[in-house]
Structure formats: structure tokens, C-alpha cells
Amino acid sequence: MQPHPPAGTNASVLDVAALTVATRDNAVVIVNDLTLHVRAGEMLALLGESGCGKSMTSLALMRLADGLNTSGRITLLGRDIATLPEKAMSPIRGREIAMIFQNPMSALNPVRSVGQQISETIRRHKGLSRKAARQRAIALLGEVGLADPVRCYDAYAHELSGGMCQRVMIAMAISCDPALLIADEPTTALDVTIQKQIMDLLHALKIRRGMGILMITHDLGVVAAYADRVAVMYAGRVVEQGDVHALFSAPHHPYTRGLMDSMPDLADTSDRFHAIPGMVPELRALPPGCSFAPRCTRADVQCTHVFPGHTMVDRNGFVRCFHPLQVAA
């Protein structure tokens, strides 16, 4: 097992370059030329509307995008895992990279206690004795904020609330000290107050453990409150990436600007809702050039022919647009 990079060192945990996922016949490109990185102890939000390819990105990173054509580099802790055979990849899942999902209840086995499920994961990856694995599982249930970890160990998923189940899933995900946690919309199925508790927990774990987190979300509020950096995805591509504060105070891509303008503003009593005109295109029938061009007021002929490359906007950010906002030409 590779040692994790220490937190706060800016060491890269995950580096993804030109990741592309397409159907076997290449008729649909679901993730297109995707570039991103996650450092130790930081949360990168992958932000986008439904159907833009966020979940497929996470599956591809876990090397679980079965039956699809995948290319590009996925460097985890300095090693390219994009082409590793399944036998070598299998122990990496859980141990170096772990994942939590939207619906924790359905991710847990209903006929085994939640503690047993965590113990089994620990025993499989760490080879601990039954007793030691149980002790570690109970400690983890305490670490994720469950009030009575010993009692919780013997509980079944149906005996716990949605928020408690998500805490159990997080305990299982961190049980082998992964360097990277992928969280795919982990709070979407939960009540608003519980959402905040789970996000606070992930934030605390990120700091305490120096773990990198890739947070998949469509929620700009979550991004603003918790992420360190954000990658904005549209129709299979990352169109803008940068530090959260920089990006929120001065978005460069017209799509990012549109997303921010469409956030409801409680202070605005004008009854106006600033929606982006038009619809997200079908991946099966993307327009030529920039996929956002048909909805973009800044688009010209060039935009309808060529997809723009990466333009660096600062040390940490890039935009893919021929006519970005507030970037010197």
C-alpha cells in the first residue's frame, strides 16, 4: 500500500488527464477529455446538471465503467490506474479510493448488521482478526458521530434513519484509510438539516485525515459552503475549473455565470427567475463546436465549429471558452 501524502502539503492524490468514456460504438461520448486533480486534504466539487456525466466520471475513476470505451490517464497516488488489470485494481478500491452514494439505505445489505459489514471490509483489506476488526468498526462508528457505536454495530439498516445509514456508509468508506473519497451526491436523499450534518462530517474528516474528497453535486450551495475548488461540467466536459472563492466571485464561463444567476435569491422580491434559455443537449446529438453555444449570448461562428481548448485564468483555474467573461484576450 502506498503511503498517503500528508495533509496540507498540496500533494496530489488524483490527477486525471483527457479522460474520455464513450459507448462501444463511440456513438455517445458520455465523458469527454476531462481534466481534474484532487490534492490531499481538499474537496474538489464536480458540479453539473443532471445527465452531464458526473456519475459516469466517478464510475470511470473507480474503473467500474463496464462495457464502455474508456481512455485517458487516471493517476492515483502517482500511479496510473487507467489500464490496470482487474486483479490489481480490486484491492485499490476501498483501500486507496473509496466511494459513497446517494442512497445509503439501498447500498447496505439488509440481512447483515451494519457493524458486520464494516468488519468484513476491514478484514478483507487489512487482514485483522474478527475481534480487532470489530473494535475498529466500533471506533469508526464513533468517529462518524453515531451516538451509541456499540449498539449501532449490531443494528440493521432498516433500524437506522437515512442520515445514520449515510454515516455508516462513510465509516465503511474510511475504514481502510483511503487517500481519496468519491462522494456521489451523498446528501441528495436526505432532509436539509441532515444534509448539513453529513457535509460537516465530511469536511471534518477531510481535515482530520488529510483525505482528498471528490464531491459530485448539482448543488451550488454545497459547493459554496464546503468545496475548496470546483470543476463545472456541461454535456460531458469540464468547462471551467478553479478555486471556489475566485470562481464564485468572478466566473469566466458563460454557463457558470448562468448557473449562478439561476440560483434563487431570497433577498430578491422581484419574482424574477433567471433561467438559462434552452435545454441541455442530448449527449447523443451534441451540436458541433462548443456544446453550450446554442444557449450562449456570446457565441459566434467559431464557437459553433470548434470546441475551445483550456485557457488558464490563474494559477489554479482554467476555462474552455473563446469568449470568457473577465479574462484578458
Ligand X SMILES: Nc1ncnc2c1ncn2[C@@H]1O[C@H](COP(=O)(O)OP(=O)(O)OP(=O)(O)O)[C@@H](O)[C@H]1O
Q: How far is the CB of 248 from ligand X (least distance, A)?
A: 21
Contact between 94 and ligand X per CB under 6 A: no
Q: Is 239 near ligand X (CB under 6 A)?
A: no
The answer to whether 116 contacts ligand X (rule: CB under 6 A) is: no
Q: Which is nearer to ligand X, 27 or 147 (CB)?
A: 27
Contact between residue 72 and residue 16 where contact means Cβ atoms under 8 Å apart:
yes
Q: Does the protein bind ligand X through residue 30 (CB under 6 A)? A: yes
- Quick note: the x/- pattern for ligand X over 196-225, rule CB under 6 A, is ----------------------x-------
The answer to the question of residue 56 lying near ligand X (CB under 6 A) is: yes
Query: Considering only residues 240-279, where is the footprint of ligand X by CB under 6 A?
Result: none
Question: How near is the Cβ of 106 to ligand X at its closest, in Å?
Answer: 15
Radius of gyration of the chain from its Cα atoms, rounded to whole angstroms: 21
Q: How many CB atoms lie within 10 A of CB 282?
A: 10
Cα(168)–Cα(146) distance, integer angstroms: 8
> Counting contacts by CB under 6 A, is residue 48 touching ligand X?
yes
Q: Which of 168, 30, 180 is nearest to 107 (CA)?
A: 168
**Among residues 12, 15, 17, 28, which is the contact residue for ligand X, using CB under 6 A?**
28
Contact positions with ligand X (CB under 6 A) in 284-313: none
- Within the chain, strands assigned E span 12-23, 29-39, 43-47, 68-76, 79-80, 97-100, 180-184, 212-217, 229-234, 237-243, 311-312, 318-319
Pick 27 or 266: Cβ nearer ligand X? 27
Q: Shortest approach of ligand X to residue 214 CB, angstroms? A: 13
d(CA 279, CA 295): 8
Strands 311-312 and 318-319: antiparallel
